[in-house]
Structure 1
Amino acid sequence: MPSSKAKDSDALAVDVDVVVTAAPAPSEKAPDWEVHLDAHESPKQMSNARKWSQVLIICVGSACVTCFSSLAGFAEAGIQREFGVSHTVAILSISLFVAGTGSGPLLLGPLSEFFGRQAVYRFSYSLFVALNFGVAFAPNIATHLVFRSLSGLAGSAFLSVAGGSVADLFDDQHVALPMAVYTTSPFMGPILGPLISGFVNQNLHWRWTYYVGLMWAGVELLMLLLFLPETYEPVLLKWKAARLRKETGDSAYFAPIERMDKSIFAAIRASCTIPFRILYHERISLLLNIWASLVLGVIYLTLQAFPIIFGRQHHFNVQMTGLSFIGIGIGMCTALATQPFWINLQRRKVIQYNGNPPPETRLYIGMVGAVLFPLGLFWMAFTTYPRVHWSNPMVASSVFGMGTIYIYTTVFTFLVTAYRPYAASALAGNSFLRSIFAAVFPLFAGPMYERLGTVGATALLAGLATLMSPFPFVFYRIGPRLRAHSRFGPR
């Protein structure tokens, strides 16, 4: 998973130095009286129990946002009946939400640089909950779809800063495991959605899909309000400087963030342009992002494919079809359980390269994912026949679920380390591109499976994944040569 330094490049994009030292005595102050954090004031000095409780809240919140994207999967039939729309229009409930989560970080991501993590969490999640009331109680399809798009946009602000909070809490030696746990949580959401939605739509009205989701989101919002403190050190310094000015009456106290000349509008402008410049100029970034986008597109395509494979072929009812997504979730959890091995491997590479391993060392885990992902899809493709027991395609789904986490781990960490000065922008470009794939794939999944059949359609996806599987192997060999000419890599 990403190292703390890599994630800090992404999350702590403000160009300020945060020095965690004891503040000097008044007689020792420099003329400008810059404020520093005392050691005990640093978020990294919290107890492990408190740190992990915050990581848990953040992970549950991330999973909740992405779960809302796939909750709509089994609500489509009810939406079609009540609003009198086609199946394609009903699928837009998924696509527009995902499009919102992909484009939102470009606009909302820089907000935490100015207002801190806590303010972004509280504002975005409150707005997310409020907008989903509009989704749940929409009187017509237009209102439903508009609120779905806006709620995805609001939820994306939470996702764009959550990784930074994990990096705020742990130092270099201990950040890898909590970051691995966090990175997995957004991908568990699309798997939990069908599980919940299947049971709800089997037994209740489709609107209860969103009522149940709102209950979860409401509890999460309460947890954010009560138990998640500010952890962004530039903002903590700003608060401390303001407190000292008030207590002492001395206006000379200041925090670096108060003296920076960067405006929020400039930050948003850079956030909206640099990601696309990286995609255009950096071939490695573009190809790895297309690979990751295909993977997420397949995950969202399963929302339409699994009802065909398990519903029609194996005669599962709605709630049992929802349970069929457990296989992917098991694979993802298995991938997470193997993270200590990969963390130890990276530590050995750090020693081997005297503390500065090249970004290509991050591609090892992607090499395994490049094999597992198409293997799982091919396995699923040729076991979807009704005469083959349903457990076979479900086990196959766990294999490509495991490959999914490995691929995303390698893409995220490579982008962060290879484009360290622009890590936030590199990941924003990744988020935008993969959200486009995730939004579009469900729209053509039904016609593709109807035309090609479960074997042909799934094998086609496996073939596309196979074409991209050489990427980590090739870039491991030629990556240093390509990066030598990079416009955005470290100088």
Structure 2
Amino acid sequence: MASVHHNQVAPDEVVPVAAITAAPDIEMAPMHPAPAAKDSDLDPFLVAFEEPFDAANPKNWPTSRKWAMTDVLSATGFNRIMVSTIMAPALSLIATELHMNSAESVMALSIYLLATAFGPLVMGPLSEIYGRKTVLHVSNVWFLVWNIACGFATTKELLIATRFLAGFGASSIYALAGGVLGDVWRPEQRGRSLGTYLLIPLLGAAVGPIIGGFMAGRTTWRWLFWSTSIFQAVMILVSFTTFCETHAPTILQRRAEKLRRETGNQQYYTIHERFDGNKSLAQVIQRALTRPLRLLAFHPIIQVSSVISAFNYGILYIILSSFADLWTQHYHQSVEISGLHYIACALGEIAGSQLGGPLMDVLFRRLKAHAKGEHTPEFRIPLIFPGALLGPLGLFIYAWTAEYRVHWIAVDIGIFITMFGGQITSMPMQAYVIDAYPDHTSSAIAAVQFMKSLTAFLFPLFVPAMYNALGYGWGSSTLAFAGLLIGLPAPLIVWLYGAKLRAKAASSY
């Protein structure tokens, strides 16, 4: 029989006592609430993880099982992110066949990203009600259906609509990944787990145009969608057989349900069930679905994190959407060769993630030791600053080497440095959000992703006009100057005032 825990809370479990006793729309409570009160310690019906070790607690799982969860999400993320960029080199071919103007063809590419702004707002909160596993499986099937439909589109309207619906299903990975990594890995392992998870998806954003370039030149553009759908079907089979539930409140709720069923005693409960006990299912879902937007509207930590992450993400998609045109129109290279230059993008991001992950963990351990064992989410912030300098530096190099048509290797070096700096910045920012919102990581990530996806959707829309008016030199330099103005002051605010902002912030409930 599953065990019931008296006066014990798992080391990594945050018990929101303040949230139990008050439930206004935005409860004022500490970001990390205090442990349960003494009278609740003696409650024989409270179902929680056993201390010091409970095998059902995802943070106590064997390392091999944790890596299995991480790898499933990583491979799934690779395909979904690859689909966002794979059609970039084929846009002109698609536009000709479906009678699209330049704005409509760019819309067909970027509408996928618009969907990833709204999808996590739904998928993230639902994963905190029904568990990560259910949401992953449903979104996998949804994405597969609509990605196949993209390949059969015969009109521009149908292609744009199916791309949006495919992107909506694909977007769950953005909310689920941060949630699952927060579920199974401890703060000391955050850098390594993030670096390993990102290794394959980061390839997707850059490998997509490479594959798309060769496929567009050798077969119909429709195989861009059909081939990725075959891969998605394989990943559905893998996730069904490998992925386990990682959401601790869901695991405990199922344990409590089993106890109630086996004993016939309906008094067994979990902390989260007590909090939602007087609410109908509709009220629980309504509150969950509004949580990401409430966090974005009322939490300065989420607002600052969103600005930093959104700008960097927008720059990434400006480059990804315009890079092929630079080589085909400015350097007069073939579509296939233009796709190969995306290797520089991939290498920069991979190098950033694989170096940034270990550096993040090393810095975290040193700051924790300096603080005599205490740690705060702000320990993630110092690593952002070198990335905030490297990213704009790379953009300056890219800007003027491209403007004067310097040898292609110089342009690719500039892009490598830009991507490297961007990744060094984004990883600590994501780890910071995970650490700051342990109770509702997926909702917090969804709030940040909303802004990121909006910039990824909107920024590429003005790129053709910007480069036509300013050229590659001043166009990209303008972005670099903006990166310096945003990338340095914003994390400095978090480093200096993050703890105070978190203390004053409303509860994530």
Q: Give the shorter-chain TM-score range.
A: 0.7 to 0.9
Q: Distance in 2 between matches of 1:184 and 1:227?
A: 20
Per-residue deviation, residues 302-358 of structure 1 (Å, max 9, x unmatched):
233212322223232112211211112111111122221221111111121233344
Q: Which residue of 2 aligns with 1:300?
A: 317
Q: Distance in 2 between matches of 1:439 and 1:217?
A: 23
- Cα 1:129–1:391, aligned 2, differ >3 Å: closer, same or farther? same
Q: Which residue of 1 aligns with 2:393?
A: 375
The answer to whether the Cα contact below 8 Å between 2:300 and 2:505 also exists between their aligned partners in 1 is: no
Counterpart check, 1:191 vs 2:233: no
Secondary structure at 1:109 match in 2: helix
Counterpart check, 1:332 vs 2:330: no
The answer to whether the Cα contact below 8 Å between 2:47 and 2:269 also exists between their aligned partners in 1 is: yes
Q: Which residue of 1 aligns with 2:327?
A: 310
Q: Which residue of 1 aligns with 2:106?
A: 91
- Cα 1:230–1:395, aligned 2, differ >3 Å: closer, same or farther? same
Secondary structure at 2:154 match in 1: coil
Amino acid at match of 1:303: L
Per-residue deviation, residues 237-293 of structure 1 (Å, max 9, x unmatched):
3444455566x4635484525554255544554455454454445556434422321
Counterpart check, 1:200 vs 2:215: yes
Amino acid at match of 1:366: I
Secondary structure at 2:506 match in 1: coil
Q: Which residue of 1 aligns with 2:87?
A: 72
The answer to whether the Cα contact below 8 Å between 2:133 and 2:243 also exists between their aligned partners in 1 is: yes
Quote how far apart the aligned CAs of 1:388 are.
Answer: 1.5
The answer to whether the Cα contact below 8 Å between 1:363 and 1:472 also exists between their aligned partners in 2 is: no
Match of 1:122 among 137, 158, 161: 137
Where do 1:88-487 residues align within 5 Å? 88-183=103-198, 186-243=201-258, 248=262, 250-252=264-266, 254-256=268-270, 260-261=276-277, 265-271=282-288, 273-281=290-298, 285-338=302-355, 339-385=357-403, 387-417=405-435, 424-472=442-490, 474-475=492-493, 478-479=496-497, 483=501, 486-487=504-505
The answer to whether the Cα contact below 8 Å between 1:78 and 1:205 also exists between their aligned partners in 2 is: no
- Cα 1:151–1:255, aligned 2, differ >3 Å: closer, same or farther? farther
Amino acid at match of 1:336: S
The answer to whether the Cα contact below 8 Å between 1:111 and 1:264 also exists between their aligned partners in 2 is: no
The answer to whether the Cα contact below 8 Å between 2:301 and 2:502 also exists between their aligned partners in 1 is: no
Q: Which residue of 2 aligns with 1:24?
A: none
Q: Distance in 2 between matches of 1:33 and 1:285?
A: 32
- Cα 1:285–1:70, aligned 2, differ >3 Å: closer, same or farther? same
The answer to whether the Cα contact below 8 Å between 1:75 and 1:206 also exists between their aligned partners in 2 is: yes
The answer to whether the Cα contact below 8 Å between 1:75 and 1:209 also exists between their aligned partners in 2 is: no
Quote how far apart the aligned CAs of 1:412 are.
Answer: 2.3
Secondary structure at 1:383 match in 2: helix
The answer to whether the Cα contact below 8 Å between 1:110 and 1:264 also exists between their aligned partners in 2 is: no
Amino acid at match of 1:353: A
Name whichever of 475-484 and 124-133 sits farther off: 475-484
The answer to whether the Cα contact below 8 Å between 2:311 and 2:455 also exists between their aligned partners in 1 is: yes
Q: Distance in 2 between matches of 1:421 and 1:235?
A: 12
Quote how far apart the aligned CAs of 1:384 are.
Answer: 1.0
Q: Distance in 2 between matches of 1:279 and 1:143?
A: 33
Quote how far apart the aligned CAs of 1:405 are.
Answer: 1.1
Q: Distance in 1 between matches of 2:392 and 2:382?
A: 17
- Cα 1:284–1:169, aligned 2, differ >3 Å: closer, same or farther? closer
Q: Which residue of 2 aligns with 1:19?
A: none
Per-residue deviation, residues 79-136 of structure 1 (Å, max 9, x unmatched):
2112111121111122211111111111221212222221111111011101112111
Secondary structure at 1:368 match in 2: helix
Q: Distance in 2 between matches of 1:445 and 1:357?
A: 42
Q: Distance in 2 between matches of 1:324 and 1:218?
A: 29
Quote how far apart the aligned CAs of 1:373 are.
Answer: 0.5
Secondary structure at 1:138 match in 2: coil
Amino acid at match of 2:264: D
Quote how far apart the aligned CAs of 1:179 are.
Answer: 2.8
Q: Distance in 1 between matches of 2:136 and 2:406?
A: 47
Name whichever of 177-186 and 208-217 sits farther off: 177-186
The answer to whether the Cα contact below 8 Å between 1:70 and 1:191 also exists between their aligned partners in 2 is: yes
The answer to whether the Cα contact below 8 Å between 1:360 and 1:479 also exists between their aligned partners in 2 is: no
Q: Distance in 1 between matches of 2:486 and 2:427?
A: 16
Per-residue deviation, residues 154-174 of structure 1 (Å, max 9, x unmatched):
122233122222333334444
Amino acid at match of 1:160: A
Per-residue deviation, residues 39-86 of structure 1 (Å, max 9, x unmatched):
334444443333323311111111221221112212312221121111
Identity among equivalent positions (%) equals 25
Secondary structure at 1:133 match in 2: helix
The answer to whether the Cα contact below 8 Å between 2:194 and 2:427 also exists between their aligned partners in 1 is: no
Quote how far apart the aligned CAs of 1:483 are.
Answer: 2.4
Counterpart check, 1:54 vs 2:69: yes
Q: Which residue of 2 aligns with 1:22?
A: none
Quote how far apart the aligned CAs of 1:420 are.
Answer: 6.1
Secondary structure at 1:151 match in 2: helix
Name whichever of 130-139 and 382-391 sits farther off: 382-391
Q: Distance in 2 between matches of 1:189 and 1:299?
A: 13
Q: Which residue of 2 aligns with 1:25?
A: none
Q: Distance in 1 between matches of 2:340 and 2:11?
A: 37
Per-residue deviation, residues 172-209 of structure 1 (Å, max 9, x unmatched):
44444113322565544322221221111121111111
The answer to whether the Cα contact below 8 Å between 2:128 and 2:440 also exists between their aligned partners in 1 is: no
**TM-score, length-scaled by structure 2:** 0.82
Amino acid at match of 1:487: A
Q: Distance in 2 between matches of 1:33 and 1:423?
A: 23
- Cα 1:265–1:318, aligned 2, differ >3 Å: closer, same or farther? farther
The answer to whether the Cα contact below 8 Å between 2:253 and 2:269 also exists between their aligned partners in 1 is: yes
Amino acid at match of 1:348: R
- Cα 1:76–1:134, aligned 2, differ >3 Å: closer, same or farther? same
The answer to whether the Cα contact below 8 Å between 1:33 and 1:252 also exists between their aligned partners in 2 is: no
Quote how far apart the aligned CAs of 1:488 are.
Answer: 3.5
Secondary structure at 1:382 match in 2: helix
Q: Distance in 2 between matches of 1:35 and 1:355?
A: 25
Q: Distance in 2 between matches of 1:51 and 1:104?
A: 26
Q: Distance in 2 between matches of 1:118 and 1:350?
A: 33
